[in-house]
């Protein structure tokens, strides 16, 4: 099994290249691998909203570099003007998708770090340095999550995941799929079941594409077949990513995750969530307070160029759901696996983190 750096060294998800933001357009996968350069705030916001770049850590990185693009686009003459550009860009970029906390966290972090610059040039330099730091930290976090997850699941080889929480969704090797890659790199037998993840098929299009690229056995199944698969005894554990984790451990993730958690509990299969500290939101007390993004009805009404519903039918299309913390066996983070009383564990973790300069969030 090849190491992840060998396989992914030519795969760009989010990168700063020659003064512009380069992303892999994930709306075209798996049919076409096309890279797109973004040079304006409008293009960054459009790419995030249209899911050209997606996944909580990845859109956080894109948003961070988007702040640098805002400064390059506006060309402020003074530090005061540059701070105004940052404030306006943070509002525009940070609200492009509301559920994933990494996005607002990243743009606010860049804005705060850059604002202390004494000139427009220093503000810009600080913004880019902070964006680079966010990318480096997420890569390290993904590696650590993979190691902790591989240790936790050392005897569990058949894993069900949901949506895509891998290389395409992060700035490193992934969170949920980072665990898979770490297990494979360590020589553990591992195979993955990937529900399609309707309506945009991130599991079928993206997770299957990634895992095939890495050489991990993967089977795609309809979302509605996951409960039956879990009940059959053919799944050893469920491992998913997250877009926001509340202070009590409730988890917002791609729509369909809650159903898998319920089915896993019924089948006696452990259910894990893998996420970096930047995805935790200690200021949101529970899942009821998480804003759930509602997507356009056309995602349901059409599949490609073909209509799938009558044109006048009502549509409810939430992008995410919330899995209650009591259904979560463990939260796999870069500092280890949290379990038990999540409210206490998360409070202690962030009390410790806030005393260390530069730690997330």
Q: 223 has which bridge partners?
A: none
Catalytic residue among 138, 243, 281, 321: 243
42 φψ region: left (φ > 0), alpha (ψ -120 to 50), beta (else): alpha
243 is catalytic: yes
Residue 155 exposed, middle or buried by CB count within 10 Å (0-12, 13-18, 19+): exposed
Positions marked active-site: 243
């Amino acid at each position: 099994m090849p190491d992840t750096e060998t396989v992914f060294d030519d795969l760009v998800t989010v990168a700063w290249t020659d003064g512009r933001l380069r992303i892999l357009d994930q709306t075209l996968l798996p049919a076409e691998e096309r890279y797109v350069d973004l040079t304006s705030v409008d293009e960054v916001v459009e790419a995030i909203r249209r899911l050209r770049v997606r996944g909580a850590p990845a859109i956080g990185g894109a948003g961070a570099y988007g702040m640098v693009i805002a400064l390059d686009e506006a060309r402020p003459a003074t530090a005061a003007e540059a701070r105004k550009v940052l404030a306006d860009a943070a509002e525009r970029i940070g609200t492009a998708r509301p559920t994933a906390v990494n996005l607002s966290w990243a743009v606010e972090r860049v804005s705060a770090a850059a604002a202390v610059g004494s000139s427009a040039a220093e503000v810009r330099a600080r913004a880019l340095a902070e964006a680079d730091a966010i990318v480096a930290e997420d890569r390290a976090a993904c590696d650590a999550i993979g190691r902790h997850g591989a240790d936790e699941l050392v005897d569990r080889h058949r894993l069900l995941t949901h949506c895509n929480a891998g290389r395409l969704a992060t700035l490193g090797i992934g969170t949920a799929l980072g665990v898979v890659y770490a297990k494979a790199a360590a020589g553990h037998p591992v195979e993955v079941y990937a529900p399609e993840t309707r309506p945009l098929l991130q599991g079928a299009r993206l997770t299957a594409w990634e895992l095939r690229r890495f050489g991990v056995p993967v089977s795609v199944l309809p979302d509605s077949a996951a409960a039956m698969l879990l009940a059959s005894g053919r799944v050893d554990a469920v491992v998913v990513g997250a877009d926001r984790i509340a202070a009590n451990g409730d988890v917002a993730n791609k729509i369909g995750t809650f159903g898998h958690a319920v089915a896993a509990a019924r089948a006696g299969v452990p259910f894990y969530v893998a996420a970096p500290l930047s995805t935790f939101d200690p200021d949101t007390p529970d899942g009821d307070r998480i804003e759930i993004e509602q997507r356009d009805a056309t995602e349901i009404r059409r599949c490609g160029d073909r209509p799938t519903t009558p044109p006048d039918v009502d549509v409810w299309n939430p992008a995410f759901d919330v899995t209650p913390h009591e259904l979560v066996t463990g939260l796999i983070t870069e500092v280890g696996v949290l379990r038990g009383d999540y409210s206490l564990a998360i409070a202690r973790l962030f009390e410790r983190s806030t005393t260390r300069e530069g730690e997330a969030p």
